[in-house]
Amino acid sequence: MNKKKAIVFDFDGTLANSFPLVTKEITEAIALFRKEPLTDEEARTIYGPTEEGIILKLIKDEGLAKESFLRYLDLYNKNHDEMLPDFIPGIRELLEELNCKNIPIYLLTGRSKESTMITLTKFNAFKYFKAIYTGGLYGEVKEELLNELASIHHFNKEDLVYIGDSLHDVPQCRRANVDIISVSYANTDSYEKLEEISKGNVAKTVEELKAKLFRIL
């Protein structure tokens, strides 16, 4: 992997263990239309669109999905402090160290802009990121967003490294010609699959991620 000039972070499962909160509040938001709870595994398989897009997949009606998404945001905000008080341990320190070294950091997530703004406000975390890119209503858009980021901020693709936890992140980064370091510390069950498709470039702990990053900066 070549030396890098900027880092692009995913959010869910990479900077914060937010899946339990998101899954719980999507389940609550659509309870009138779907009686069975949304499992963590099911949530992971339908991730890709924003939360509004996920809700639309589950309800199938645009008007009801919009109404349920607004309820989701209210619940997400209400229960955030209890269920998602801060970044994964060690992440804030890593972000601060990267900032001190003047390494540009970008946030690129499949999450909705609305919920991302809620969390970054509660975490007092806008200061860490040069720019923030959020997801698409109908599916995965990280490949397109990486291309947009490189163009807007005048980076060559080889200057960037993406940090993400999803199996889907790997092919999207490859199509965008952006290197990726996968992480499995928030979902240890994904380690073997990530190892297989990431060709060993997986960090199992935040400390391991830090070591991998500083070797390429």
Beta bridge partner(s), residue 162: 8, 180
Cα–Cα dist 147/4, whole Å: 16
The mean pLDDT value of the chain amounts to 92
pLDDT score at 45: 67
pLDDT score at 138: 87
Is residue 192 pLDDT above 70, yes or no? yes
Is residue 149 pLDDT above 80, yes or no? yes
**In the CATH scheme, what is the homologous superfamily, with its name and number, of domain 6-16+87-215?**
HAD superfamily/HAD-like (3.40.50.1000)
Cα–Cα dist 77/112, whole Å: 13
Is residue 97 pLDDT above 70, yes or no? yes
Q: Using alpha carbons, select from 77, 95, 75 the residue that is nearest to residue 15.
A: 95
Beta bridge partner(s), residue 160: 6
pLDDT digits (tens, 9 = 90+) for 26-83: 989 988 887 677 776 676 666 779 999 999 988 888 999 999 999 999 999 999 999 9
Helix and strand counts by DSSP (H, E) for the chain: 10, 6
pLDDT digits (tens, 9 = 90+) for 104-133: 999 999 999 999 999 999 999 999 999 999
Read out DSSP for 73-117? HHHHHHHHHHH--SSSTTHHHHHHHHHHTT--EEEE-SS-HHHHH
Domain boundaries, the chain: 6-16+87-215, 19-83
pLDDT score at 43: 65
